[in-house]
Amino acid sequence: MSLILGLETSCDDTAVALVDHNGRVHCSLSANQDLAHAPFGGVVPELASRCHTETLIPLVDLALSNANWSQIDAIAVTARPGLIGSLLVGVVTAKSLALAKGKPLIAVNHIEGHILAPLLRDEEYAPPESFDFPYVALIVSGGHTHLFKVYKPNRYEILGQTRDDAAGEAFDKFAKALGLGFPGGARLDQMARKGDPKAFKFPQGLKSEGLEFSFSGLKTAGLRVLETLSSQEILEKTPDLCASFQAAICDVLINKLDRAFDDCPEIKCATISGGVSANSELRTRAVKWADERGKIIALPPLRYCTDNAAMIARAGGFAFQEGRFSSQEVSPSASAYSSDYL
Ligand code: KG4
Ligand code: ZN
């Protein structure tokens, strides 16, 4: 079996995966750093790099304990965008392994990984049978909120993106203000299940304007509402606050996904990926939307929604098939390249 080894260290998850050329995940390992960053209420870049340094090679060893280096066709690594110190650990490790083992190196754009994540498959997940290129991809994470038209691997057109905060950032900031800890998106989601989404009215930034997003107004509105409540009231109303805040974000995201298809009605498929796509309300609404709109939607499971190395290996697999390799001179970059997109 031929495999691509994927390494992902762009932010605060250290991840290693082996994926074959059909997108089948042979193994996907990841170590999150939540415990290291939680006392600071956010990711501390210096700490993130140190954690990657400690964890990456043991994870590579673990992944390779069930495979042989002779099966590895290439090493794919996230090279941008992300925290530069974190990216450096992955890129330098990938370069060293490529040199030592005589393997081709493939530098991957992290967002491309999220775009291609729905094409992964394992024993429990496969994309819907008729899911294929071209598709519209909504990428929602802690650092990104993008809508893409995906023609085929390496052909991605940005339809819209956030002008300020990412959706995940809004979730995390509001969750933190509510005392739900960090990162709070998943906890806010849990709390929201017991709350009334109509209890509070939050603004839906740029809802009716094009395909651009804006979440900074919502974030500020959320913090303002908390200022008007006593600690006791906040405690009592936390589920309602969470449900209402979450509803505002989901409304905007589904609305924009829907509008994206107005310009390309011929496209049949859609996907939502990135950490925020783990949100239960967003997933429920997405399935309902696809049903009503007559579209095929792929919603990868949580393990492929949040940062992982399988999606990087998948992107590497497509690059390998097209002969797109990187040289030993490749450098990490905090931002994506304009040439990454059409
Ligand atoms: O894709 P990801 O793992 O990392 C980035 O590239 O940012 O996304 C992490 C983001 C965080 O903001 C986290 O709070 C959010 O995804 N998240 C959620 C949920 N699970 C993770 N947001 C809302 N609801 C969830 N269930
Ligand atoms: Zn990500």
pLDDT in tens, the chain (342 residues): 899 999 999 998 999 999 999 999 999 999 988 888 888 878 889 999 999 999 999 999 999 998 999 999 999 999 999 999 999 999 999 999 999 999 999 999 999 999 999 999 999 999 999 999 999 999 999 888 999 999 999 999 999 999 999 999 999 999 999 999 877 999 999 999 999 999 999 988 777 778 999 999 999 999 999 999 999 999 999 999 999 999 999 999 999 999 999 988 999 999 999 999 999 999 999 999 999 999 999 999 999 999 999 999 999 999 999 999 999 999 999 999 999 999
Mutate to test the pocket of ligand 1, among 138, 141, 180, 191 (most ligand atoms within 8 A of CB): 141
The pTM is what?
Answer: 0.94
CA dist list (Å): 323 to 8, 106, 181, 302: 21, 10, 44, 30
Q: Which residues pair with 273 in a beta bridge?
A: 139
Q: What was the pLDDT predicted at 35?
A: 86
Ligand 1 pocket, mutate which of 8, 276, 285 (most atoms under 8 A from CB): 276
Residue identifier of the C-alpha nearest atom 20 of ligand 1: 186
Strands 296-298 and 145-152, sheet pairing:
unpaired
| Predicted pLDDT at 42 | 81
Backbone angles phi, psi at 67, to 5 degrees: -150, 170
Report the C-alpha gap between 119 and 318 in whole angstroms: 11
Å from CA of 114 to ligand 2 middle: 7
User: Which ligand lies nearest the alpha carbon of 277?
Assistant: 1
143 Cα: distance to centroid of ligand 1 (angstroms): 9
123 is written with which tokens? 């024993």
What is the C-alpha separation between 138 and 298, in angstroms, rounded? 11
**In the block, residue with structure tokens 């796509």:** 277
- Report residue 130 CA to chain centroid gap: 23
Q: Which two tokens stand for residue 77?
A: 């690594």
Question: Which residues have C-beta atoms less than 6 Å from ligand 1?
Answer: 11, 141-143, 168, 171-172, 183, 185-186, 189, 274-276, 278-279, 306-307
pLDDT at position 183 is: 77
Q: What angle do CA 261, 214, 217 make, to 5 degrees?
A: 145
Cβ neighbour number for residue 66 with a 10 Å cutoff: 9
Ranges of H-type helices in 102-230: 110-116, 167-177, 185-192, 216-227
Cα 139 to Cα 64, 79, 201, 275, 279, distances in angstroms: 30, 18, 25, 9, 13
Which residues have a Cβ under 8 Å from the Cβ of 304 and sit 6 or more positions away?
28, 117, 118, 120, 125, 273, 310, 311
Structure tokens at 296: 């095929």
Tell me the CA–centroid distance for residue 99 and ligand 1, in Å: 34
**Alpha-carbon span 202 to 221, nearest angstrom:** 7
Instruction: Look at residue 204 in the predicted model and tell me its pLDDT.
Output: 82
Residue 1, number of CB atoms within 10 A of its CB: 10
Tell me how far apart the alpha carbons of residues 130 and 298 are, in angstroms, rounded to a whole number. 10
Q: Which of 14, 306, 311, 335 to mutate to test the pocket of ligand 1 (most atoms within 8 A of CB)?
A: 306
- Please report the pLDDT score of residue 72 as a whole number: 98
pLDDT attached to residue 41: 78
Buried b / exposed e over 319-338, threshold 16 CB at 10 Å, is bbeeebebeeebebbeebee
Which residue has the least CA distance to atom 8 on ligand 1?
275
Task: Tally Cβ neighbours within 10 Å of residue 220.
Answer: 14
Chain-centre distance of CA 165, in angstroms?
15
